[in-house]
Amino acid sequence: MESLGDLVAAEDVLLFVNAAVTATGQREFHSDAAEQQLSLDFLHAYMLGNYRELYAGVLALDINDHNAALIVRRLLETSREATGAQRRTEGLLIARRLELLPPQRVYRLFDALRRAGVNNRRTRALIRDWIAARPDPALDAVKYRGGFRTALRHAHLAPPTDEVGDFAFHGPAARGLSYRTPLLDAWRRAHYERAAVYELPYTVAEGFAAKHGIPRKAFLERIAPRMTRLERLRTQESAREAGAGAVRADLARMPLTRLAGYVLGLPVTERVARRGELTAALEASARRTAGAQQGCWGRVTAVLDDSFSTVGSGAKRRRPLAVALACHHLLAALAGEYTALWTSGRTDALLVRPYGATPLGHRIVDALETGPERLVIVSDGWDNAPPGLAAEVLQVWRTRLDPHGATRVVHLNPVYDAGGFDVRRLAPGVPTAGIRDAEDLAPLAEIARFAEGRTGPAELTAHLAARTEAFLAAGTGPRPAAAPEGDR
């Protein structure tokens, strides 16, 4: 029989997972950055102090990079408080998670550990192994030179090669020297030779282009072959304004949520003019994301929030709306029969924009009338037209009209509520999960069912154990070829 402590632990874990998926410590529409950071710091300290093993296990879930780095840092800072068995498991989880984090974030993490004075044997071993596994030390020395140098010093490591070490620690003073490594020598020659600029990674070459006064159009056209997919996506519109037609991103190959954000950043007139291209790209990305589950979800109805609060903030511009748009296309790919209902009443998903109040209650009534097998609500949970109607509708539906759960209802919330230490929920009986990327919709819907009350802490613990085992297993064996920097 489950104890009260088990139930509390399960609720705490679910609450923390929601925060770790959605919160990044940045300003949101309803709270500023300081509130976000204070709330998130409290949750990390609470989980680490009370459920260390579960706290480490969250690294195996689909949390965002910001919280993954925070978990790694806090585990390493408190190594003395862990048992031998805990340290072994944590070491495996940390090493695997570091493989998945963008390298610039890992180098920032190593610098944070240095500033915090964390330099125990486990930390040095993790830094050593991560740097040893990097596919191109010369690229790291050029692109992340400060972080690369700091990590070597902090872990007392010898550079991968003498030449890379000379470059990392004495690069500016050694410009007159030549390097055998092509990338290092290109960096040296780029100080006085324009042609060498185009042998460097885009982010490094950009500074040299400004130094040499290279026109933007000419620079973008020649550096385009060295751009990553996401760099092409980020610069495509500015390149078009500069007249650099060579910079074109393959939109259909872009991650779904990033692609949705790109589409929403375009003026409405351009979306209309490029309707066929943009819609085809979104649908292709959604089908690729759905994979083997395409068409397997039966009758699905989605209530999608495009109210004014989905404008987000300066730090996360239109992020909630981008998640809703991406979920719309993914659900259309997953469903056998699909109906989409936007809170604004719009029917053209390509032209959605943040506007108006949030009449979730009315839209949920409309959605339930379609008789779906699954009802998916993507909203920040601020039901205000009228306030509380969504909760009343869902409670009556669950307790009186559908007590056996013939319709599976799940609420996915892309916004962390700092004041509530969780994402806002619509009704007590409706499972809610935080979501950052639409690509994680299916696994997050599975996590959400544990909040419904139909499964217990034992099932949640088993689920976390299975995810941890799969997460660690995916990191064993031959290391896969590294993705181009910026594509991760």
Q: Where are the domains of the chain?
A: 190-249, 256-452
- For residues 67 and 101, is the Cβ–Cβ distance under 8 A? no
* Angle between helices 121-132 and 84-100 in degrees, nearest 10: 30
What is the pLDDT, as a whole number, of residue 487? 40
C-beta neighbour count of 121 within 10 angstroms: 8
Q: Which helix (H) or strand (E) holds 340?
A: strand 337-342
**Distance from C-alpha of 147 to C-alpha of 101, rounded to nearest angstrom:** 15
User: Which residue stretches of 229-339 are H helix?
Assistant: 229-242, 256-264, 268-273, 275-290, 319-334
C-beta neighbour count of 487 within 10 angstroms: 14
Structure tokens at 295: 């068409």
* pLDDT tens, the chain, 488 aa long: 455 556 677 788 888 999 999 999 888 988 888 999 999 999 999 999 999 999 999 999 989 999 999 999 999 999 999 999 999 999 999 999 999 999 999 999 999 999 999 999 999 999 999 999 999 999 999 999 999 999 999 999 999 888 898 888 887 655 556 788 899 999 989 988 999 999 999 999 999 999 999 998 889 888 988 888 888 888 887 777 777 766 777 888 899 999 999 999 999 999 999 999 999 999 999 999 999 999 999 999 999 999 999 999 888 899 999 999 999 999 999 999 999 999 999 999 999 999 999 999 999 999 999 999 999 999 999 988 899 899 999 999 888 888 888 899 999 999 999 988 889 999 887 889 999 999 989 888 877 777 665 555 677 778 788 888 888 888 754 343 333 344 43
The 8 Å CB, 24+ separation contacts for 291-298 are 293/334, 293/442, 294/333, 294/334, 295/333, 295/334, 295/335, 295/336, 296/334, 296/336, 297/331, 297/334, 297/335, 297/336, 297/373, 297/374, 298/335, 298/336, 298/337, 298/373, 298/374
From the list 39, 42, 46, 45, the residue with the least C-alpha distance to 23 is 39
From the list 272, 232, 271, 274, the residue with the least C-alpha distance to 255 is 232
What is the pLDDT, as a whole number, of residue 477? 45
**Distance from C-alpha of 16 to C-alpha of 14, rounded to nearest angstrom:** 5
Q: How far apart are the first and last CA of the chain?
A: 44
In words, the CATH class of domain 256-452 is alpha beta
What is the pLDDT, as a whole number, of residue 314? 86
**Distance from C-alpha of 82 to C-alpha of 86, rounded to nearest angstrom:** 6
What is the pLDDT, as a whole number, of residue 174? 52
- For residues 28 and 415, is the Cβ–Cβ distance under 8 A? yes
- For residues 417 and 381, is the Cβ–Cβ distance under 8 A? yes
What is the pLDDT, as a whole number, of residue 148? 95
C-beta neighbour count of 112 within 10 angstroms: 16
C-beta neighbour count of 114 within 10 angstroms: 17
